[in-house]
Amino acid sequence: MRAMTRVYWRLLGAGFRRQSTYRLAALGGLVANTTFGLLKVAVLFATVRAAGGDVAGYDLGRMSTYIWLSQALLGSINLSGRTDIAERIKDGQVAVDFLRPLDVQAAEVTTAVGGALFALIPRGIPMLAIGGFVGMALPASPAAYPLSALSLLLGIVISVAAAYLVGVAGFWLVETRGPQICYMVVSGFLAGLFVPIQLFPRWLELTAQATPFPSMMMYPIDILAGRVGPAGALTLLAVQLAWLAAVGGLGQALTRAGRRHLEVQGG
C-alpha cells in the first residue's frame, strides 16, 4: 500500500514538473485567460446591472468572484477533452503504458492532475490577484475555504477522469479529434465556464445538473464564492464524489474493454 502511494505521488510530481517546463504555454494561457476574463466582466456586469443589481443570486461582487475564479481554474480543469492518452493510443505509445505494473487509468489521471495542480500557480494565482484587486465577494464562513479546496481538487480530478473517457474512445476510433471537439463545446458550456448555470433557463440548468460538468467548475466556485453555505457545500461535495465514482468506474470499464480491442498503431 505504501509502495503504491509512493508510485502515484511520484507520478503526480512528474506531471507537476513536466507542466512546469512549458513556460511559454503558461504565459500564453495567462494572456488568453485575462482577455477572456475582461470580456466576461463586460458582458456579465451589464447583465447584472440590467437586471437591477441581482440576477439569480449574483450581485456585482459575486459575479466578479465567479468571473475571476472561473478564469483562474481554466488552466487546471480539463474542459477541452484533450489528453495524453488519446495521443498515445494514436501513435501506439500506449504499449509502453501497458508494460508497467500500474493501473493505466490511475497513472494517466494522476499525472494529469499533477500538471493541473502546477497550472494553478502561473495561471490561477494571477487571476485571483486581478479579482482581489478589482474586488470579489468572499464567503463569510471560514469553513468554506477548506471545503472549497476539497471541492476544487475533486473538480480537477473529475474533469481529468472525464476527459480520459474521450481519450480511450481511441481504442475503437483511433482518431478522436471529432468527439473531442464536440466534448469541448458541450463541457465548457455546461460546466458554467461562459455564464453561471444558474443563469440558464430552468430546463437547461436541470440538463446541466444531470451531467458531471458542473461538478468540474461550477460547484467549486459556488462554494468559494459563498453562494452556498457549509450545508449546501457538503451536498455539492457529495454530488461531486458520486460523479467521480461514475466517471472513474466508467474509465476502468472502458480501459478493460478497450484493451481487448487494442491494435497497437505503428508496429
Partner 1 sequence: MSAIVETRGLTREFTVRDGRRRRRLTAVDDLTVRVEPGEAVGYIGANGAGKSTTIKMLTGILVPTSGTVTTCGLRPVKDRRRLARQVGVVFGQRSQLWWDLPVRESFRILAAIHALPAATERARTAELVDRLEMADFLTTPVRQLSLGQRMRAEVAAALLHAPRLVILDEPTIGLDVLSKQRLREFLIAERRTHGTTLLLTTHDMGDVQRLCDRVLIIDHGRLAYDGDLVGLGRATGAERVLVVDLVGPSPDLTGIPAARHLSSEAHGLRQRLSFDAEATTAARVFAAVAERVEVLDFTVEEPDIEDVVRRIYAARR
| Nearest approach, Cβ of residue 184 and partner 1 (Å) | 24
| Nearest approach, Cβ of residue 262 and partner 1 (Å) | 7
Read out DSSP for 201-255? -HHHHHHHHTSSHHHHTHHHHHHHTTSS-HHHHHHHHHHHHHHHHHHHHHHHHHH
| Nearest approach, Cβ of residue 93 and partner 1 (Å) | 6
Q: Which is nearer to partner 1, 12 or 190 (CB)?
A: 12
Q: Which is nearer to partner 1, 202 or 260 (CB)?
A: 260
Q: Which is nearer to partner 1, 105 or 240 (CB)?
A: 105
What torsion, rounded to 10 degrees, do the Cα atoms 219, 223, 224, 229 define? 170
Q: Which is nearer to partner 1, 23 or 49 (CB)?
A: 23
Q: Do 163 and 156 form a contact (C-beta atoms < 8 A)?
A: no
| Nearest approach, Cβ of residue 157 and partner 1 (Å) | 20
C-alpha cell at 244: 467521480
Q: Which is nearer to partner 1, 61 or 92 (CB)?
A: 92
Q: Which is nearer to partner 1, 62 or 88 (CB)?
A: 88
Q: Do 102 and 158 form a contact (C-beta atoms < 8 A)?
A: no
| Nearest approach, Cβ of residue 7 and partner 1 (Å) | 5
Q: Which is nearer to partner 1, 31 or 96 (CB)?
A: 96
| Nearest approach, Cβ of residue 249 and partner 1 (Å) | 19
| Nearest approach, Cβ of residue 62 and partner 1 (Å) | 39
Name the site residues for partner 1 (rule: CB under 8 A).
3, 6-7, 9-11, 14, 17-18, 21-22, 92-93, 95-96, 98-103, 259-260, 262-264, 266-267
C-alpha cell at 74: 481554466
- Closest Cα partner for 198 from 39, 57, 41? 57
CA distance 178 to 127: 31
| Nearest approach, Cβ of residue 96 and partner 1 (Å) | 5
Q: Do 75 and 160 form a contact (C-beta atoms < 8 A)?
A: no
Please state, in angstroms and as integers, the Cα–Cα distance from residue 106 to each residue in 17, 110, 158, 266, following that order. Answer: 18, 6, 12, 25
CA distance 92 to 90: 6
Q: Which is nearer to partner 1, 52 or 101 (CB)?
A: 101
